[in-house]
Amino acid sequence: MTMLAELARLIRSKNAGPFELTFDVMFEDAARYERVKRSGALTREAVAQRYGLSPERVKFFYCDNALAVKATIPRPAVQGDLYDADGHGGQQYAPLMDIEIP
Amino acid sequence: MNEIRILSPTGVCGSGFLESSFEKALALRPHFIGCDAGSTDPGPSHLGTGEAAFPRAAVKRDLRLMLKGARRIGVPLLIGSAGTAGGDPHVEWFCDIVKEIAHEEALAFRLAVVHAQQDKTYLKKRLREGRIKPLDPAPPFEEATIDRSACIVGMMGAEPFMRALELGADVVVAGRASDCAIFAAMPVMRDFSEGIAWHAAKILECGAAAVVNRRTPDCMFAWVREDHFIVEAPDETLMCTPQSIASHSLYENADPFRLIESSGTLDLTESRYEQHGERAVKVSGSRFLPAPRYTVKLEGAEKAGYQSIVIGSVRDPFIIRQIDDWTGRLTERIHARVNQVYGETLKRADYVVHIRVYGKNGTMGPLEPVKEIRSHELCLIIEITAPTQEIASSIAGIVRHQGLHLPIPEWSGLITALACPYNPAHLDRGAVYRFNVNHVVEPDDPLEMFRTRWYAVEGALFEEIPE
C-alpha cells in the first residue's frame, strides 16, 4: 500500500466558480497514473465518502492525456459567505492525500 | 498561411509579465493582444463594493505596456472583466487608468467600452418570463434577490467583442466577460474553426500558466490555423508539453472535457496534443457544439451585513481539551449579554456569532476528518456579523470581555482565558458581501445585455463619440 500523496506530483483544490470546489490529482508519468486509475481506490465513491456527500453529487473524471484524475463537488459553503473558511478553496484537498493505493 | 496570431501578455492585468517576453511576442506580429482583467476568485466583496482586487499602480504598469505595444504595431487590444468584477464602477476605474496613460504617453485610439452591469428592471422582466434558469448548484433567485443585490453583472460572450472589432475599435475595455471570449472573438469572426478558436482561447486566457515550469506570471502566444493551433511561451526558458497544455483544461474548471460558453460548449474529448519543436505544442481535434439556446451567466453580490472580529489564542491545556464546550458556552454568554444590552431591539436571528478554531478545524470546519487534536495552542477568530457596523463593533466588545473571563471547572477564581495580540482587541471589517446568483439569462440577442459606448482618445482628449 502506498499513500496517494506519494504517487502524485500534485494534489490540489481550487474554486471552480463560487459554487463548486474542484480537485486535481496529477501524475508525473503514465505508470503511476495507470496504477492509481486501475487500483479502484481513487473513485467517485472514495471522494464522496471523504467529503460527506452522496456519490451522485460528485463529478469525477479520468483525464488520460493530462495524466490526471479530477473530481468536482458542490462547495461546502459558497465562496466568501459567512461560514466559508477558504476563499480560494485551495486547502481542501488534505483528506485525499492519505487514500491508500494498493 | 491563413492564421491568426494572438498575444496574451498575462493571466490577469495587474499580476505582471516580463517586458522582455512581451517585446519578443510583439516581434511575432500578433493580430491582436488580449488580456483578462478579472475573476470571481478574489471573492464577492469586489463585486459588492465596486473595488478592484489588484492595486491601481500594478494594473497601470501592465496596461501601459499593453497600450503602448498595441499602438506601436497598430493592432487591437481587447480587455475583459475590467477592474476584477466587471461592473460599472470597475469599468469606470479601469477607463480612468486608460485615460491617464493615453495622456502621459500621448496615445491616440478609438476606444469601445462595453458595459456588463445589468439593469434590475430588465432582469425582473426576464425572471417573470421564465428566462432566468438555475445552474447546479444555485441559490434561490427571486425579485427580492435582484432588489437586495449591490451589483449584478452578465458574463458576455464573444459577440460584443466581435461587434466592437467590426466597428473599428482600437482598444476594447469590457466589463464582465468570459475569459475565453476575449481571445475567441477575432478567430471566430474570421470563420476559423470554433473548436480550435475556443480551445486556443482557453489556454491563452491564463497567460503562461499552462507551461511546465512557470515561475512568475508571463506572456503566452498562439498561432490559430485552419485545423489546429500552436501555443508557445515567448520566454525561451519556458516550455509547453502535451501534458502541460492538456492539464490546463483542469484548472478552475468543474469539467475538464466540456467547457460551457454563452454560444455553446467546447468539447475536448477528441483533442490531440503533440509536441511541436522543443517548446511548443500543437493542438487539434477540439470541437465546439453550438448551444440550442444562447445564454448569459449572471454574477451577483448582496450585502451579508457588517462584521467585526476578535482574534485571540489559547495556551492553557485545560481549556484546549474542552474547546468545543468552551466555545459553545462562550457563544451562549455572548447571546445572553447582547440580550441584556439590546433587549427586544436586537433579536438573536439579527446577528451571527461564528467562532473559528485554528489548530482544530479552522480550515475545513465540519468537513475536517481529524477529530483528535494534539495542538498545544489554538487560535480563535470570533466573528460577529450584524445589521450595522456600530452593532457589530459593540458585540465584538462584549465578545472580548466575555471571552477573557469565561471560567472552566478546573480553576477556581477569575481567569483570563484569551491572549489578544491586537489593541483594540477587535477589528472592524466593514460591509461584507455574498454571491447570490448562479443562473443564466436567455436573451433575445447576444448583444442586448451589453451596451457599448465609444470614445475618441487623443492624448489628454477623451471624448464620447457616436457609434
Taking the CA atoms of residue B96, residue B99, residue B105 and residue B109 in that order, the dihedral angle to the nearest 10 degrees is 140
Structural contact between residues B33 and B70, judged by C-beta atoms closer than 8 angstroms: yes
Asked whether the beta carbons of residue B435 and residue A19 sit closer than 8 angstroms, the reply is yes
Q: Summarize the confidence of residues A45-66 as an average pLDDT.
A: 96
| Burial class of residue B454 in the structure, from the number of CB atoms within 10 Å of its CB (0-12 exposed, 13-18 middle, 19+ buried) | middle
pLDDT, tens only, B92-144:
999 999 999 999 999 999 999 999 999 999 999 999 999 999 999 999 999 99
Q: Which residues of B touch A72 (CB under 8 A)?
A: 254-255
ipTM of the complex: 0.94
The amino acid present at B232, given as its one-letter code, is E
Partners of A23 on chain B (C-beta within 8 Å) are none
B255/A61 touch (CB, cutoff 8 Å), yes or no = yes
pLDDT at B1: 66
Over residues B181-203, the pLDDT tens digits come to 999 999 999 999 999 999 999 99
> Quick check: A78 and B250 CB within 8 A?
no
pLDDT tens digits for range B43-99: 999 999 999 999 999 999 999 999 999 999 999 999 999 999 999 999 999 999 999
> How large is the average pLDDT for residues B383-393?
98
Cell digits of residue A82:
459567512
Residue whose C-alpha cell reads 439579527 in the numeric block: B350
Candidates B433, B403, B431; CA nearest to B310 is B403
Does residue B432 contact residue B385 with C-beta atoms inside 8 Å? yes
Contact flag B251-A14 (C-beta cutoff 8 Å): yes
**CA of B68 vs chain A CAs: smallest distance (Å):** 33
pLDDT reading at B443 higher than 80: yes
Residue of B nearest to A26 (CA): B247
B246–A63 C-beta distance less than 8 A: yes
Beta carbons of B253 and A61 less than 8 Å apart: no
Contact A19 B433 (CB under 8 A): no
B contacts of A16 (beta carbons < 8 Å): 252-254
* Contact with chain A for residue B135, Cβ under 8 A: yes
CA nearest to B300 within chain A: A18
User: Which three cell numbers mark B241?
Assistant: 508539453
Q: CA of B331 to nearest chain A CA: how many angstroms apart?
A: 16
Instruction: Please state the φ and ψ torsions of residue B176, each to the nearest 5 degrees.
Output: -55, 125
The Cα–Cα gap between B235 and B25 comes to: 9
For residues B72 and B109, the answer to whether their CB atoms sit within 8 Å is no
Give the three cell numbers for residue B35.
Answer: 488580456
E strands within B192-268? 220-224, 228-232, 258-261, 264-267
User: Tell me, what's the pLDDT at B214?
Assistant: 86
Query: Could you tell me how many CB contacts below 8 A there are between chain A and chain B?
Result: 117
